[in-house]
Amino acid sequence: MADSSSSQNLLEVKNLTKHFPVSGGKVVHAVDNVSFSITRGKTLGLVGESGCGKSSCARTVIRIYDPTSGSIILDGEDITKLSQKQLLPHRRKMQMIFQDTYASLNARMTVQDIVAEPLRAHHICKSKAEEREMVADMLCRVGLNQEHAGRYAHEFSGGQRQRVGIARALILQPMLVICDEPISALDVSIQAQVVNMLRTFQEEQGLTYLFIAHDLSMVRYVSDDVGVMYLGQLVEKCETDEIYAHPLHPYTQGLLSSVPIPNPELARQKQTAGIAGDIPSPIAPPKGCRFHTRCPYAESRCSEETPAFREASPGHFVACHRINEE
Ligand code: SF4
C-alpha cells in the first residue's frame, strides 16, 4: 500500500477498482487496484494519456460510479458502499469541475439556476432573496457579475462557462474538489487565469484538489504531488518537484519527453523519445507489467510478473521491475 492512514488526509483511496461490463461477457478494466491519499488543503495531480482511467478513477472516488472493490475514505468516513440517499450529506463535501462545459452546464437553464442548483438540492437558503444574494456573491468571486445571472451558458465564452462551472462547484463550500481537465479545452491565455483562480480559492478556503490532466506540463504549477496512471493502474507517485527531477517509470519519462519546450534550441537538444505505439485496450490489458508492449526496457519477466507499487526512495513510489531491483 502506498499511503498510511492519517487524519491529516482528507481523502484516502485504497485498492480502488472499477470494471465496466461490456457485451460478450467482457469487462473494461478502467481502474485496477489504485491507492493514494490527499492531505487536507493540498493538490494531487493525476496524469496519463486519454483512456488511462484517470477520469473513471475520479468519478468513482466521487461516487458518480459505484466502485467494483476497494475503499474510499472521505474526511474519516467510509463512503464506499453508501447508497445515493446515504451519500447526500457527503455530497456537500465533494464537488466536481468538468472539462466539457457544453455538456456539464444545462443549456436550458440560466446561470442563476445552474449555480443555485446545489443550494436547492441541499435546502441551504431560506428565501429566494438569500439564494440570489449567495449566487451573486459567488459569481463575483469567479470574476462574473450579477448581470450574468439571467443569461444562458451558451451566451458565454469557454473561459466564462468554466467560471460558471467553478461557481456551481464551490458555492456549497466543499472540502474536496475534483477538477477533471478543467483547463484542457480553454485557450492558453485563459488557462493561467483559471488556474490562478483555483489556487486563490484553495488558499482562501483550504480546498483539497484532485486535479486530472493528460500531460505533465498542466499539473506542474498546481500540484503538491503527482500520480501517473497507465491503463487503469497507478505506476508512479511522488512530490511534484521530484517527478520532474527524477522520473523513474519509463512511462513517466516518455510523458515528460513529450512535454513541449518553448525554447527551440533546447527542444532540438532534447531526446524526444516519446512513447511508441498506442495504449492497449482496457478490455484485454497485457499480462505482467501493462506497459511492457511499449516499454523500451522490457525484458522477459515484464510480460509475466506484475511489478509491485513500491517505495523506491522516501515518498517516491513506482511500479517497475527495473527500478525495484536497483
Ligand atoms: Fe518497462 Fe518492465 Fe519496468 Fe514495465 S516493469 S516499465 S516493462 S522495465
Q: Is the pLDDT of residue 1 over 50?
A: no
Note whether 178 and 311 are same-domain residues.
yes
Mean pLDDT score across all residues of the chain: 90
Report, as an integer, the average pLDDT of 205-227: 92
Distance 266 CA to ligand 1 centre (A): 28
Residues in CB range of 266: below 8 A, 6 or more apart: none
3-class secondary-structure state, position 316: strand
The pLDDT-based confidence of 306 (bands split at 50, 70, 90) is very high
Q: How many domains does the chain fold into? A: 2
Q: How confident is the model at residue 325 (pLDDT cuts 50, 70, 90)?
A: low
Question: How many C-beta atoms lie closer than 10 Å to residue 163's C-beta?
Answer: 25
Q: Which of 255, 300, 302, 323 to mutate to test the pocket of ligand 1 (most atoms within 8 A of CB)?
A: 302
Boundary of a domain, candidates 124, 142, 168:
168
Would the pLDDT of 241 be above 90?
A: yes
206 and 119 share one domain: no
The pTM of the full predicted model, rounded to 2 decimals, is: 0.90
Q: Which atom of ligand 1 is nearest to the CA of 290?
A: 4
What pLDDT, on a 0 to 100 scale, did the predictor assign at position 255? 92
CA-nearest residue for atom 5, ligand 1, is 320
CA distance 144 to 136: 9
Same domain, 135 and 261: no
Kindly state whether residue 101 falls inside one of the protein's structural domains.
no
Q: Has residue 104 been placed in a domain?
A: no
Mean pLDDT along residues 71-90? 94
282, part of any domain: yes
For residues 163 and 181, state if they share a domain: no
Full residue range of the structural domain in which residue 128 is found: 109-168
Region of 232 (left: φ > 0; alpha: ψ -120 to 50; beta: rest) is left
Q: How far is the CA of 259 from the centre of ligand 1 (A)?
A: 21
Residues 183, 316, single domain; the answer is yes
Residues 6+ apart with CB under 8 A from 90: 74, 77, 79, 82
Per-residue confidence (pLDDT) for residue 2, from 0 to 100: 42
Residues in the chain: 326
- The answer to whether 236 and 252 are in contact (CB under 8 A) is yes
Same domain, 241 and 308: yes
Which of 29-38, 135-144, 214-223 is predicted least confidently?
Answer: 214-223
Distances (CA, A) of 281 to 27, 52, 59, 232, 251: 11, 10, 20, 11, 17
Domain assignment present for 98:
no
What is the pLDDT, as a whole number, of residue 264?
53
Residue with cell 449567495: 134
Asked if residue 315 and residue 261 are part of one domain, the reply reads yes
Please determine, for residue 309, whether its predicted confidence score (pLDDT) is greater than 80.
Answer: yes
Mutational test site, ligand 1, from 233, 290, 321, 325, max ligand atoms within 8 Å of CB: 321
Given pLDDT bands bounded at 50, 70 and 90, which one contains residue 135? very high
Segment 58-77 shows an average pLDDT of: 96
> 139 with 182, same domain?
no
CATH number at residue 306: 3.40.50.300
pLDDT at 215: 80
Same structural domain, 79 and 222 = yes
Asked if 288 and 226 sit in the same domain, the reply is yes
Within-domain flag for 206: yes
Does residue 289 share a domain with residue 306? yes
